[in-house]
């Protein structure tokens, strides 16, 4: 569990973890006044499966961290903000610190020790049911050597005598000791009050408002975490040449060319039939939730594996969410010219139903094509959040109707009266008229294409909603006059004869 820079593995190569601050930025980089870096940082550390993620969810009042009885679920650092007390502070959930010799365990430990070094306060979590463990002693000594203020949080205290637990964990020599049961939210209030008394007050509020939220989605091992690290310019999340490394949806602020973004690295999504572990099911749910919450989704495809059925299924799910979409074809640099031609032809066929999305060939490992990728993201975000006036929409659709008349509906021609915008991200256009709901899908697509060309809507789906005007006489009954009633009686007598 060394605190030094440990090697991470990516694409079969080892890299040294570069010094970073808590927000995924190099330590020399300053943040603006509205940045989360202004908040004091509390790192939750400890052995695997002692309840760090449960405490994280309780402090942030979220379910961002996956909670299960299986140890080693958390791998990347998760950031959240606690507003439970008088002073807001940032909470960091870290991977369990172990003595594992495999590269994954070393990478996870390196991430955790970076969190400890950059924190303002350390909450050491221990398990009351397991009792004092030799790893608890080692972690406490290592943190104490960093001169960090420490609070010992004894979790899972339900069913255990507090006096006995206090006596056992007093061997750690830590003055501040709190007893909680995070699963039952017992003692969390006392923990918040304790931290309120230790952490400095801040005047700024933290939010990701104004940031373009980008969710990076794809099958396992297509290079999502590698792309995040390359965009940030540092090894911020674990990126290894093995599927399933990422499990939580990790949110990381980023600033590029004066614009603010929030990158969301997600777990790889496999076919439902292959998802067996409960942890992976939670990971898939969180990945899809991240896609639904994002402004723009980057779907990563593996150029060397081609366009698979799972990519098509996943793409269909993303289209249903209605978010801006950019297609990143990764590992492009590893293909020969002839192979690129074949891949392009296959993608043209498989991606025909999302022809509005830009397709950018990239190499996440070497950084090629990332500039074009960010341009495509910005373009998709502008198109998805654009506002239209009713006048320009009505004029554009009127021209489309005049250029190509709609087909007859029950012997009559559909007519449009006016159109207006009904929502953004995705843009929703409401068209009012008569007999519009009976128009065939081919004419819907024609109108959509006309609007895309007129307003240059690239990278976002477009929703057209047709509303037929109600017939004002539909519910009214024509009352007969006295003369009409007498005439009707005479006709009825004649018919009966």
Residue of 135, 162, 176, 168 lying closest to 45 (CA atoms)? 135
pLDDT at 143: 85
Residue of 247, 419, 388, 340 lying closest to 238 (CA atoms)? 247
Structure tokens at 419: 């159109």
Q: Give the predicted TM-score (pTM) of the model.
A: 0.56
Establish whether domains 7-198 and 390-468 are of one fold: no
- Indicate the fold that domain 213-381 takes in CATH: Rossmann fold (3.40.50)
pLDDT at 6: 32
- Tens-place pLDDT, residues 75-85: 456 767 787 87
Q: pLDDT tens for the chain, 497 residues: list them.
A: 433 333 333 333 333 333 334 333 333 333 333 333 457 888 888 888 888 888 988 888 776 554 444 444 444 567 677 878 778 887 888 877 766 454 444 545 666 677 677 778 888 999 998 888 888 888 888 888 888 888 999 999 988 888 888 988 988 888 889 999 988 888 998 998 998 888 876 644 334 467 899 988 888 878 888 888 888 877 765 444 444 444 456 778 888 888 899 888 876 665 444 434 433 344 565 666 777 778 999 988 888 877 777 778 778 778 877 889 999 998 888 788 888 888 888 888 888 888 899 999 998 888 889 999 999 999 999 999 999 999 999 999 999 999 998 888 777 888 888 999 988 888 999 999 888 888 888 899 999 999 999 999 999 999 898 888 765 555 667 788 888 888 888 888 888 76
CA–CA separation, 329 and 319 (whole Å):
18
SS3 content of the chain, % helix, strand, coil (to 5): 40, 20, 40
Angle, vertex CA 424, rays to CA 421 and CA 427, nearest 5: 65
Extended strands (E) in 331-435: 358-361, 408-409, 412-413, 415-423, 428-434
Structure tokens at 62: 């979220």
- Indicate the fold that domain 390-468 takes in CATH: GMP Synthetase; Chain A, domain 3 (3.30.300)
**Can you say how many angstroms the Cα of residue 288 is from the centroid of all Cα atoms in its chain?**
7
Q: Which CATH class is domain 7-198?
A: alpha beta
Parse the chain into domains and list their residue ranges: 7-198, 213-381, 390-468
Residue of 205, 204, 206, 162 lying closest to 187 (CA atoms)? 162
Q: What DSSP string runs through 36-94?
A: GGGS-EEEEEESTTSSHHHHHHHHHTS--S---SSTT---S-EEEEE-SSSS-EEEEE-
Per-residue DSSP letter, 392: H
């Amino acid at each position: 569990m060394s605190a030094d820079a440990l090697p991470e593995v990516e694409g079969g190569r080892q890299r040294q973890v570069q010094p970073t601050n808590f927000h995924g930025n190099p330590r020399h980089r300053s943040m603006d006044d509205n940045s989360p870096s202004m908040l004091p940082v509390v790192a939750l550390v400890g052995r695997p499966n002692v309840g760090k993620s449960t405490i994280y969810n309780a402090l942030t009042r979220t379910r961002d961290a996956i909670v299960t009885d299986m140890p080693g679920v958390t791998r990347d650092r998760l950031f959240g903000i606690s507003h439970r007390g008088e002073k807001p502070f940032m909470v960091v959930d870290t991977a369990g610190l172990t003595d594992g010799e495999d590269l994954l365990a070393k990478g996870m430990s390196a991430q955790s020790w970076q969190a400890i070094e950059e924190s303002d306060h350390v909450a050491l979590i221990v398990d009351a049911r397991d009792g004092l463990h030799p790893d608890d002693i080692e972690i406490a000594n290592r943190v104490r050597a960093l001169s960090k203020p420490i609070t010992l949080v004894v979790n899972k205290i339900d069913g255990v005598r507090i006096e006995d637990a206090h006596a056992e964990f007093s061997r750690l020599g830590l003055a501040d000791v709190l007893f909680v049961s995070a699963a039952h939210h017992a003692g969390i209030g006392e923990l918040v009050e304790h931290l309120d008394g230790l952490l400095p007050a801040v005047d700024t509020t933290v939010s990701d408002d104004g940031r373009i939220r980008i969710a990076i989605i794809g099958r396992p091992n297509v290079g999502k975490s590698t792309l995040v690290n390359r965009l940030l310019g540092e090894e911020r999340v674990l990126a290894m040449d093995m599927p399933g490394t990422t499990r939580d949806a990790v949110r990381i602020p980023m600033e590029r060319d004066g614009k603010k973004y929030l990158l969301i690295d997600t777990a790889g999504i496999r076919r439902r039939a292959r998802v067996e572990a409960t942890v992976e099911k939670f990971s898939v749910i969180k990945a899809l939730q991240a896609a639904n919450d994002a402004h723009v989704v980057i779907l990563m495809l593996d150029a060397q594996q081609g366009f698979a059925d799972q990519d098509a299924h996943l793409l269909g799910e993303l289209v249903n969410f209605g978010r801006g979409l950019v297609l990143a074809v990764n590992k492009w640099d590893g293909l020969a010219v002839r192979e690129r031609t074949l891949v392009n032809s296959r993608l043209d066929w498989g991606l025909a139903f999302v022809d509005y999305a830009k397709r950018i060939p990239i190499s996440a490992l070497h950084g090629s094509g990332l500039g074009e990728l960010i341009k495509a993201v910005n373009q998709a975000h502008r198109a998805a959040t654009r506002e239209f006036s009713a006048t320009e929409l009505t004029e554009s659709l009127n021209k489309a109707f005049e250029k190509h008349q709609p087909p007859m509906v029950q012997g009559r021609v559909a007519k449009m009266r006016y159109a207006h915008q009904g929502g953004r991200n995705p843009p929703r256009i409401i068209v009012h008229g008569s007999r519009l709901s009976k128009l065939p899908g081919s004419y819907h697509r024609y109108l959509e294409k006309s609007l895309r060309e007129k307003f240059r809507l690239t990278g976002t789906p477009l929703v057209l909603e047709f509303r037929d005007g109600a017939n004002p006489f539909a519910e009214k009954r024509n009352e007969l006059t006295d003369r009409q009633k007498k005439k009707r009686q005479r006709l009825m007598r004649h018919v009966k004869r």
